Chain A
Amino acid sequence: MTSLYEEISPDPPDNVPVRRVTMTVNGEKRAADVEPRLLLAHLLRYGFMLTGTHTGCDTSNCGACTVLFDGKAIKSCTMLAVQADGHDVETVEGLATASELHPIQEGFKHEHGLQCGFCTPGMMLAAKALLDENDDPTEDEVRWAMSGNLCRCTGYQNIVKSVLWAAEKLRAEGRS
């Protein structure tokens, strides 16, 4: 698969070599030929068709594009796809299994952690990075960990409750 910005920019990349990158996305090995300037968010969305990763602001501020990169939350609009070569990427599509929602997703459902849902994928991955490290966060710790993710709808209260709900469920299941 080749991923270029050719659809949006017609001139051919004459002297700019396309690079083959391989990465693990949600546990699966994926390969793509990318031009170096391709952003990771765009490879995920337009190359791999994983459109759960949203781009909200495009200016590195909102966190809607948050994915896990080797387990750490990063803004995928602020990383080049070539930089993910050889790394592990997790997107919102990797949370649920075919039959079951992830406890974080359940939490957002149960506690009404979303309204329009635009910020939700990024919120969930920021929450996952937190809960992977700390399975019993305080409300303050949740707010702190999620402070790089903006939401225009909810006022955050229910997002925080959703994450705390998920933490409790993960602890009860002994999954954390």
Chain B
Amino acid sequence: MYPSRFRYEAPRSLDQAIDLLRTGGGEAKVLAGGQSLVPLLKLRFAAPELLVDINNIPGLDYHRVDPDGTIRIGALCRHADLERSTVLSSGQPTMAAAAPLIADPIVRNRGTLVGSLCHADPQGDWASVMTALGGHVVAQGADGRRSIPVAQFVTGPFQNVLAIDEIAVEAVVPAPKGTVAGGYLKLERRVGDFATAGVAVAIETSGELITRAGIGLTGVGGATIDAVDAAKALVGRPLSAESIGQAADLAAQAARPRTDHRGSAEYKRHIVHTFVVRILSRITESAERAA
């Protein structure tokens, strides 16, 4: 298998890349880690006229925490960088839990978080994580930069809101106002498989009370699911067996799974329920241990 023909450019600056995308007029595609795009090119599900490889643009491979706690992930920060990140393992449990579960170790050496958001696969793990965290994508085009909440960034399976000459330059997790907790659980048939179902939970607490909550679901709908009602059931009260049960029920209701080779719809819904309970119970247990 090999791709159909295309022109290839590897610009050295974002401005050049944006210019190339503009002249490509919708027939151009950004190449980041290539771990979704190259397989699509080979299958000829994608046949762009021009590929704009952003890998030679300096200064995009970072991930960092600003002094105020905002987390920024550059467009060339690879899954493997996040898997090894001490910044995440000490401060962002939902992302730290997800990073080692993306694809397999070799794919993680190339694939990027931002590319995964752009690819907008309903099966993509980062989109649910960033949805739970209330993250956004910073897009840069000829007219400058704009910030788009992840929940609005994806418009459907494999579709995002980027204009033809826009590049997603960074993903941002807003600074937390309380103490952060959370996790990501993914059921996969084997290492490297996409999720049968996945659940991302991110909460912030102030004292006993939950002040913010987000729950994102992977692989159980035509797009990443933002389980808003389930998250709301947690806010404004302490975490309890009752609130955990309510959130899990509402998350399972929000799921829109389909029966396929990975399992039945009923089974996937059950997993969503179980994972919400499991992540939140672990948070309670570790809080009890700390006390």
Contacts and interface: CB of A to CB of B under 8 A. Distances in A.
Contacts of A16: 5-7
A15 to B, nearest CB: 8
A145 interface: yes
Interface string A70-81: 001111011110
A contact face: mostly helix, strand, loop, or mixed: loop
Contacts of A145: 105
B192 A72 contact: no
Interface string B1-20: 11111111010000000000
Interface stretch (B106-114, B129-137, B279-287): B106-114
A75 B3 contact: no
A80 B8 contact: yes
A61 interface: yes
The size bracket of the interface on B is 20 to 34
Interface stretch (A36-44, A107-115, A163-171): A36-44
A122 B55 CA distance: 24
A37 B2 contact: yes
B5 A61 contact: no
A92 interface: no
B61 interface: no
A105 interface: no
The size bracket of the interface on A is 35 or more
A104 interface: no
A148 B105 contact: yes
Interface stretch (B33-41, B66-74, B169-177, B255-263): B33-41
Contacts of B103: 148
Nearest to B110: A74
B30 interface: no
A126 B106 contact: yes
Given A36-B8, A82-B8, A61 B2 contact: no
Contacts of A79: 34, 38, 110
A75 B107 contact: yes
B42 interface: yes
B244 to A, nearest CB: 31
A13 interface: yes
A99 interface: no
A149 B105 CA distance: 9
Contacts of A85: 10
Contacts of B105: 73, 126, 144-145, 147-148
20 contacts: A8-B2, A19-B8, A36-B8, A37-B2, A38-B2, A39-B2, A39-B3, A60-B35, A72-B109, A73-B105, A78-B34, A78-B35, A80-B38, A80-B51, A82-B10, A83-B10, A126-B106, A144-B105, A148-B105, A148-B192
Interface of B: 1-8, 10, 31, 34-35, 38-39, 41-43, 51, 53, 55, 80, 103-107, 109-110, 191-192
Interface of A: 5, 8, 13, 15-17, 19, 35-39, 42, 58-61, 63, 66, 72-75, 77-80, 82-83, 85, 126, 144-145, 147-149
